[in-house]
């Protein structure tokens, strides 16, 4: 049976990582290995997830931040995880995004047929402002909702290496966007190699912006959202039907960086 490796990069995001652990603990299909690479100024903390620790699932890698670290550190941190991967299915789990309970199961099923899979027309939601949007891009998925088989690892490693040393022929900004490069490869490959799908009928993923902690690359601050949710967060409830109350508790101050451990007990 195929083993699943999940990879999460994190750093200085206490609340986001607490949420991430909660989503992971509720997956209908659990990973056999969860690699966490942490480059925060303060080493990350996690809830006492006994199942992760007792089963040896969690692989924690502490990468001390360096003065000459590039911005972002995504390529370097993924490189740290590369040699540790044991699974034949690799699923990227970003620490500040929402993953429905069936996310890993759905991605794993599609990896039975395709080498690289992802969700297109991504949905994004800013917690602070209530701004939201649906990406119209049908040519790729974001990195946070991309998964691949271990057969893709040599190419993934090459993309990481090129991004680190700056050998890519693409402009510097595109070296940052691993998803752009991954899905460009898929468009240039046989049709049955990469697969994009839409999770409209069964929401699996939401790109969540505006959580406390170190900001990400896109949409966390001044992204020009054109639509804004109602005061009772109607769109949030529609997009996260199983777990919207957790996000509402962040907004009402019940769930914070100081209270997350007692909240998830």
pTM: 0.91
**All domains of the chain, ordered by start, with CATH?**
4-263 (3.90.550.10)
| HEC profile of the chain | CCCEEEEEEECCCHHHHHHHHHHHHCCCCCCCEEEEEECCCCCCCCCCCHHHHHCCCEEEEECCCCCCCCCCCHHHHHHHHHCCCCCCEEEECCCCCEECCCHHHHHHHHHCCCCEEEECCCEEEECCCCEEEECCCCCCCCHHHEEEEHHHHHHHHHHHHHHHHCCCCCCHHHHHCHHHHHHHHHHCCCCCCEEEECCCCCCCEEEEECCCCCCCCCCCCCCCCCEECCCCCHHHHHHCCCCHHHHHHHHCCCCCCCCHHHHCC
Per-residue pLDDT of the chain (265 residues; tens, 9 = 90+): 799 999 999 999 999 999 999 999 999 999 999 999 999 998 887 755 555 555 778 899 999 988 877 777 888 999 999 999 999 999 999 999 999 999 999 999 999 999 999 999 999 999 999 999 998 889 999 999 999 999 999 999 999 988 766 534 444 444 457 899 999 999 998 888 999 999 988 899 999 999 988 776 554 445 678 899 999 999 999 999 999 999 999 999 999 999 998 998 8
């Amino acid at each position: 049976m195929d083993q699943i490796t999940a990879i999460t990069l994190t750093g200085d995001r206490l609340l986001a990582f607490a949420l991430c652990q909660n989503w992971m603990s509720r997956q209908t299909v659990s990973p056999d290995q969860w690699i966490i690479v942490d480059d925060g100024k303060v080493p990350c903390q996690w809830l006492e997830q006994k199942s992760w620790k007792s089963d040896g699932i969690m692989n924690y890698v502490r990468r001390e931040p360096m003065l000459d670290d590039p911005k972002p550190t995504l390529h370097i941190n993924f490189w740290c995880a590369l040699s540790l991967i044991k699974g034949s299915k690799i699923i990227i789990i970003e620490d500040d995004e929402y993953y429905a309970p069936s996310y890993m199961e759905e991605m794993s099923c599609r990896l039975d047929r395709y080498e690289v899979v992802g969700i297109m027309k991504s949905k994004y939601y800013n917690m602070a402002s209530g701004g939201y949007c649906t990406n119209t891009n049908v040519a790729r998925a974001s990195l946070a909702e991309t998964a691949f088989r271990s057969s893709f690892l040599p190419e993934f490693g090459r993309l990481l290496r090129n991004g680190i040393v700056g050998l890519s022929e693409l402009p510097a900004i595109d070296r940052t966007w691993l998803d752009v490069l991954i899905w460009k490869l898929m468009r240039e490959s046989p049709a049955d190699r990469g697969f994009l799908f839409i999770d409209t009928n069964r929401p699996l993923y939401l790109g969540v912006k505006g959580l406390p902690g170190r900001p990400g690359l896109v949409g966390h601050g001044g992204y020009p959202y054109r639509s804004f949710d109602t005061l009772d967060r109607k769109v949030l409830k529609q997009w996260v039907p199983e777990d919207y109350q957790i996000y509402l508790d962040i907004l009402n101050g019940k769930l914070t960086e100081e209270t997350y451990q007692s909240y998830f007990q």
